Amino acid sequence: MATVDTAESDFLLPDYILTEIFSYLQIRDLLRMARVCKRWKRLAYERPLWKRVNLAPYSRRLDGRAMWRIVRQFFTPSLKSLTLAGHLHSGRTGEIVSTPLLLELKSRAASLRHFCITTADLTGVNLADLPESLVTLETRNCEIPPRWFKSLELDGAFRNLRAVDLSCCSRVSDPDVIDICHASSLKVVKLSWCYRITDSSIQHLSEKLTQLERLDLEGCKITDVSLHHIGRHLKQLKFLNVSQCRQVTQAGLDGVKTMLKHLEHLCLDSCTPINIPNLPTF
């Protein structure tokens, strides 16, 4: 009998191979694998498998109570990336995030680098509730209260932040953009379809965030005034999106053509007919 057991054990995959296989599974399938046996459960809960967690595909089933269980049972300091989707405009009451839950996340995943949440109501939470280790913050199509980024004024707050994506956040306005500019290390800012933004805040952004490499302004109500300041101050810019900015003209982009030497991509979809030779446009 001992011989049979030994022979069977020779066919068992070692832990590191099973862990590699598990790393290709989605969260739902990984949790199913954990029910097979004690060994698989131990491996499924290993920290390396919970570095990058995407819960967006399960937004219909997730609520605040389920999020609490996930955060407490699975999130550890090894978590680097978290993606969520809320219930904005879905008719459901209550969001998957709250101040207590974010504070719990902050204590358990103090090294979180990427946080993405879409279609969520964030009016009940504060930016300061998130881990200050963040490098990338995405809140696309979310409802954000006025001056949500005011805490960036504090010295050392979110000093690692390099990218902010507020695309389709309709409440974002000039004061919010001015607050964002306190994160002077930003390389990427996406403000597409934030239609309350004007030339005034883009001028401020251009003067303060001089190290920007990507700026998305699709659908914003900006004019050639904004392009003048972008061309004058954002010398490191490589990607500029002014698609659907119908008040932008050829005259305004002449400065971009001559002053932004590092510009590689310029998106001009649905703008006034413009021709800038030797520059890739989309």
The confidence score (pLDDT) of residue 279 equals 55
Structure tokens at 36: 């097979």
* pTM, rounded to two decimals: 0.88
The confidence score (pLDDT) of residue 281 equals 55
Taking the C-alpha atoms of 86, 87, 93 and 97 in order, what is their torsion angle to the nearest 10 degrees? 0
Tell which residue, 155, 142, 152, has the closest CA to residue 178: 152
The confidence score (pLDDT) of residue 152 equals 95
Q: How many residues does the chain have?
A: 282
Distance CA 79, CA 237 (A): 31
**Apex 260 CA angle, 258 and 265, nearest 5:** 110
The confidence score (pLDDT) of residue 68 equals 93
What is the CATH T-level fold of the domain 14-49, as seen in this structure? Answer: Monooxygenase (1.20.1280)
The confidence score (pLDDT) of residue 4 equals 44
Question: Do 199 and 220 touch, CB atoms closer than 8 A?
Answer: no
The confidence score (pLDDT) of residue 143 equals 95
- Whole-angstrom CA distances from 87 to 90, 94, 121, 144 are 5, 8, 8, 14
The confidence score (pLDDT) of residue 274 equals 60
Mean pLDDT by 10 residues, the chain (282 residues): 46 83 85 87 85 91 89 91 89 83 95 96 94 97 95 92 97 97 96 96 97 97 95 96 92 86 90 60 54
Q: Where are the domains of the chain?
A: 14-49
SS3 20: helix
For residue 77, the one-letter residue type is P
- Main-chain phi, psi angles of 114, to 5 degrees: -125, 125
Number of CB atoms found within 10 A of residue 103's CB: 15
DSSP state of 152: G
